């Protein structure tokens, strides 16, 4: 990003956009000082602008009390943009073909702070379905997509997550013990897929695989979910090759 040398060069509205751009681009909570390392604004200016963005709801404080992450207004804008363009993206064709093979709702999700954000989905034609619309955020520890994301974290990042996260029990099957979750994540990383056996919603199973970029980093997950009345977790495993093929196609589009 091009540094700003003179605080009077650009209007405050444009500097606000640059601050949000930095937060989005680096993909982690940032202090005002870390944001300003990219922008080179006068110290009073960066603190004033960040404070204004926080007051307006575009940024919120991270749990550490010092750094900032996207706030509710920025998230709402993101969801609007997602709804605007997701129908026309090439990856939607991948999800449609996957849906045709599996017959269940297929999802594309990306990491979004302490959750996974659904950016696209193709619904099953069956009347019995789980309603999670595009733009929904779901917890990392209680979903197949979220656990896949956690399994790709390095030890330091995972330790920080486990230290601050509330491992809420959504069902009796939710993993709420940090060591049990660590063990599950280790197995997920080794096997290359993640499951959800009624851990978020009673009566729902899910299967997810990672979508990797060109250097092997997770950028998204592709998954499907189904009610156990229609598909058991054991039965879902026969579609694992289809999921992996879809993930490979999506990786090539990244």
Domain edges within the chain:
12-70, 75-253
pLDDT in tens, the chain (254 residues): 444 444 455 666 788 889 988 888 777 889 999 999 988 889 999 999 999 999 988 898 887 888 998 888 887 777 666 655 555 567 788 899 999 999 898 999 988 878 898 888 887 776 655 666 667 789 999 999 999 999 999 988 899 899 888 899 999 999 999 999 999 999 999 999 999 999 999 999 999 999 998 888 898 999 999 999 999 999 999 999 999 999 999 888 86
Q: Which helix (H) or strand (E) holds 222?
A: strand 218-227
* Whole-model pTM over 0.85: no
Return the CATH number of 75-253, one of 3.30.450.40, 3.40.50.1000, 3.40.50.300, 3.40.50.980.
3.30.450.40
Give the SS3 label for residue 203: coil
Determine the Cα–Cα distance for residues 211 and 152; give it in Å rounded to an integer: 11
Please tell me the predicted confidence (pLDDT) of residue 126.
Answer: 65
Of the candidates 212, 202, 207, 203, the one whose C-alpha atom is nearest the C-alpha of residue 240 is 207
Determine the Cα–Cα distance for residues 31 and 39; give it in Å rounded to an integer: 13
Helix (H), strand (E) counts: the chain: 10, 8
Q: Could you tell me the two tokens for 244? A: 């992996």
Please tell me the predicted confidence (pLDDT) of residue 5.
Answer: 40
For 12-70, CATH number? 1.10.10.10
Please tell me the predicted confidence (pLDDT) of residue 2.
Answer: 42
């Amino acid at each position: 990003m091009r540094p700003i040398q003179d605080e009077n060069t650009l209007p405050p509205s444009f500097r606000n956009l640059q601050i949000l751009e930095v937060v989005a681009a680096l993909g982690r909570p940032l202090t005002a000082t870390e944001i300003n390392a990219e922008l080179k604004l006068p110290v009073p200016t960066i603190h004033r602008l960040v404070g204004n963005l926080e007051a307006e709801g575009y940024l919120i404080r991270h749990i550490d009390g010092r750094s900032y992450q996207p706030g509710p207004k920025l998230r709402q804008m993101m969801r609007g943009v997602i709804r605007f363009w997701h129908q026309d993206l090439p990856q939607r064709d991948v999800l449609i073909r996957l849906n045709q093979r599996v017959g269940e709702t297929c999802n594309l999700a990306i990491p979004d702070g302490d959750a996974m954000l659904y950016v696209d989905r193709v619904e099953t034609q069956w009347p019995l379905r789980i309603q999670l619309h595009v733009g929904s955020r779901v917890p990392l520890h209680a979903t197949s997509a979220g656990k896949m994301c956690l399994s790709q974290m390095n030890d330091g990042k995972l330790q920080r997550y486990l230290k601050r996260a509330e491992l809420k029990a959504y069902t009796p099957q939710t993993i709420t013990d940090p060591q049990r979750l660590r063990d599950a994540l280790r197995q997920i990383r080794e096997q290359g897929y993640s499951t959800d056996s009624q851990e978020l919603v009673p009566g729902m199973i899910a299967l997810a695989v990672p979508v990797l970029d060109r250097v092997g980093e997770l950028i998204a997950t592709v998954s499907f979910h189904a009610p156990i009345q229609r598909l058991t977790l054991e039965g879902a495993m026969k579609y694992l090759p289809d999921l992996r093929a879809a993930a490979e196609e999506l990786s090539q589009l990244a």
